Amino acid sequence: MRARAFLNPYVGGVILGVVLFASFAITHSGLGASGAISRLQAGVMEVVAPGHVDRTGYLAAMGGGTRMALNHSSMFMLAGTFLGGLASAFLAGRLKPEVCRGPQVGKGRRLLLALLGGTIMGFGARLARGCTSGQALSGGAVLSAGSWVFMFAVFAGAYALAWFVRRLWN
Amino acid sequence: MLPLDLASAGALLNNLVFMLIGLAFGAALEQSGFGDSRNLAAQFYLKDMRVLKTMFGAILTACLLLFLSAALGWLDFSKIFVNQTYLWPGIVGGLVMGVGFVIGGYCPGTSLVSAASFKGDGAMFVAGTVVGAGIFGEMADEIGAFWNGSYTERLLLSDVFGWSIGATVVAVTLLALVFFFAAEKVEEWMAGDGPRWKPTNRRYLGAGALALVVALFIWGKGMPSPEEKWEIAGGELQPLLDQREVFIHPLEYVKTWNDPAVRLVTLDLRDSTAFAAFHLDAARSVTYPGLLDKELVFELDQLPPQGVVVLVSEDEAMAVSAWKRLKMQGVSNLYILDQGLKGWSALFAPLQEAHHGFDLSRPPSRVLEAFPEGTWQAKIKLKTARRAGGLCS
């Protein structure tokens, strides 16, 4: 089956914006992914090293004592996002095992770089208290000053490095 | 009035709703092409400005829908969660994320969608974000001072620039339209094959004009005044007044005032002559029109969870109007001094002699012992449920 074309980016933006508005109107808050990811991490630590979770203030706030890090509505949004991506890719005929990479990068190298980039991103997202969806999209729409500054910082960081790693993507 | 109060609907429904929103979110990301890192990375080489177009398209759409609903009185914006501003952690974290973005090719949300559509690099990226969050978790307690610094609870762009919300929405709309135009021009220039978007030009212009008209309407209509909001949404708060849940007994006031864990703000609504003649020691004089003052409301909004605001007038009528006015501007932990200052004097004046003539404006906490238990009922419940904590917390 041939994969269907992606949405016009503006149409995609309007649809995403309507989803974001619905999220605010129904739940008081916007979209997010990284909060749930750090809960996932705290959840893993709860199983592996429960004592450590209780002693580390940051982790204890999510999963200390009788608290369950994974028992949070953001985890359901995370699961939904995953399933939504899965269903959408399936319906569009894009569901196939693949490693997306630039023309000059081998598969193994690309996977390692994805892991490295993800690690940096995961760290930064906690430092900034949110990711592109939780801070930039949600905070941007409600005119949060911090979110707008954050958004431009992300673009600045990426553009500043882009030239140096151009071989990865071109 | 929106937003809905899901918390009262039970955990099951609540979680189901979050999952459905997630489904729509994931599908929208995937359909927009963000399951493939090449589509995202192209943004940083100016070849395909898809990321910027979709992101600002989404921000603009949600922003216009939110403030249009608020202007029409369908949605109470003071109940919407606004990401707190932690200026420097946001800047540094954002720069770090930009680096991770261009190396890894995703952001957390898009990597999930990518992993869901069987992309190996997406799955590795997700694993990386978990590891990165873990590394941060280990460091969080050490860098706490920086991480929790430069903080403002609810700082809007309109507060920063001193504009009205409507004017800010117009500015954001214009900015987005400028970005869209620039994105088209950059793509055209990078591709080097002349004007590309001519055929759909008219549709784009129409959509841009519509966005601008909506933004101008929001500006012209303005946000509803607290009185207009009370007309729409006051019904659900009226029981708090009718059942006297927000009226605190003078003795509870004395107790709260002497409680070092509570940050008490007392606002005296009487005129300046009466205020000069007598006022509670902790009180600040404010006028009724002054309750609309942006700076005052901003200050009350920034109070910590253990902050309590008490309204004081001669009797109660003025304080009740003031309560409505501030409540509709999103101030939480807001109370009224029961029976006003008349009741205050009636209660404490007879005690003065027996207690060596204490100052009526600041009775010591030992006066509490002069009353039998059950004289008053504690009404203050510290809570900050007004805004759901964001998903990033």
State whether B117 and A86 contact (CB < 8 Å).
yes
Which tops the pLDDT comparison, B163 or B353? B163
pTM summary value: 0.89
Question: What does the pLDDT read at residue B198?
Answer: 60
For range B72-77, the mean pLDDT: 92
Question: What does the pLDDT read at residue B71?
Answer: 95
For range B12-26, the mean pLDDT: 94
Closest CA to B339 of B360, B367, B314: B314
For range B80-90, the mean pLDDT: 92
B81 touches chain A (CB under 8 A): yes
Among the partner-chain residues A59, A95, A117, the one whose CB lies closest to the CB of B125 is A117
Residue B284 — φ and ψ, nearest 5°?
-115, 145
Q: Establish how many alpha carbons lie within 13 A of residue B49's alpha carbon, considering only the half-sphere containing its beta carbon.
A: 19
pLDDT at B124 over 80: yes
Which residues 6+ apart lie within 8 Å of B77 measured at CB? Answer: A142, B66, B67, B70, B165, B223
Give which of B56, B102, B147 to mutate to test A binding, by max A Cβ within 10 Å: B102
Question: What does the pLDDT read at residue B385?
Answer: 43
Question: What does the pLDDT read at residue A120?
Answer: 97
| pLDDT, tens only, B337-378 | 999 999 998 888 888 777 777 888 888 888 888 888 888 888
Distance from C-alpha of A94 to C-alpha of A71, rounded to nearest angstrom = 32
ipTM for the assembly: 0.95
State whether A58 and B61 contact (CB < 8 Å).
no
Q: How would residue B200 be classed by pLDDT, with cut points 50, 70 and 90?
A: low
A contacts of B385 (beta carbons < 8 Å): none
For range B147-157, the mean pLDDT: 88
Closest CA to A125 of A60, A18, A40: A40
Distance from C-alpha of B10 to C-alpha of B6, rounded to nearest angstrom = 7
Q: How would residue B392 be classed by pLDDT, with cut points 50, 70 and 90?
A: very low
Residue-averaged pLDDT of chain B: 89
Give which of A11, A19, A47 to mutate to test B binding, by max B Cβ within 10 Å: A19
State whether B94 and A88 contact (CB < 8 Å).
no
Strand partners, B248: B337
A contacts of B118 (beta carbons < 8 Å): 89, 95-98
A56: part of which helix (H) or strand (E)? Answer: none
Q: How would residue B383 be classed by pLDDT, with cut points 50, 70 and 90?
A: low
State whether B36 and A26 contact (CB < 8 Å).
no
B134 touches chain A (CB under 8 A): yes
Where does B234-370 sit in CATH, by number? Answer: 3.40.250.10
State whether B112 and A81 contact (CB < 8 Å).
yes
B contacts of A162 (beta carbons < 8 Å): 44-45, 102
State whether A85 and B112 contact (CB < 8 Å).
yes
For range A44-71, the mean pLDDT: 80
Which tops the pLDDT comparison, A36 or B207? B207
Which two structure tokens, joined as six digits, stand for A13?
A: 């933006």
Mind giving me the DSSP string for B164-181?
-HHHHHHHHHHHHHHHHH
| pLDDT, tens only, B296-323 | 988 898 788 788 999 999 988 899 999 9
Question: What does the pLDDT read at residue A1?
Answer: 53
Tell me how many degrees the CA angle B207-A84-A92 measures, rounded to the nearest 5: 75
Among the partner-chain residues B69, B109, B120, the one whose CB lies closest to the CB of A81 is B109
State whether B59 and A17 contact (CB < 8 Å).
yes
A37 touches chain B (CB under 8 A): yes
**What residue segments make up the domains of chain B, in order of their start?**
6-228, 234-370
User: Percent of chain A at pLDDT above 70?
Assistant: 99
| pLDDT, tens only, A71-128 | 788 899 999 999 999 999 999 999 999 999 999 999 999 999 999 999 999 999 999 9
Question: What does the pLDDT read at residue B282?
Answer: 87
B contacts of A98 (beta carbons < 8 Å): 118-120
Q: How would residue A141 be classed by pLDDT, with cut points 50, 70 and 90?
A: very high
State whether A85 and B35 contact (CB < 8 Å).
yes
Q: Please say whether the dihedral angle defined by the alpha carbons of residues B240, B241, B246 and B251, taken in this order, is positive or negative.
A: negative
Q: What's A133's DSSP letter?
A: I
| pLDDT, tens only, B238-255 | 999 999 999 999 999 999
User: Percent of chain B at pLDDT above 90?
Assistant: 61
Distance from C-alpha of A37 to C-alpha of A31, rounded to nearest angstrom = 13
Distance from C-alpha of B307 to C-alpha of B322, rounded to nearest angstrom = 18
Distance from CA of B291 to the nearest CA of A (A): 23
Question: What does the pLDDT read at residue B350?
Answer: 84
pLDDT at B8 over 80: no
Neighbours of B9 (CB within 10 A): 12
Closest CA to A23 of A133, A120, A122, A123: A133
Question: What does the pLDDT read at residue B106?
Answer: 95
Question: How many residue contacts between A and B have a Cβ separation below 8 Å?
Answer: 576
A contacts of B96 (beta carbons < 8 Å): 120-121, 123-124, 127-128, 157
B contacts of A33 (beta carbons < 8 Å): 107-109, 112
Q: How would residue B101 be classed by pLDDT, with cut points 50, 70 and 90?
A: very high
pLDDT at B174 over 70: yes
pLDDT at B384 over 60: no
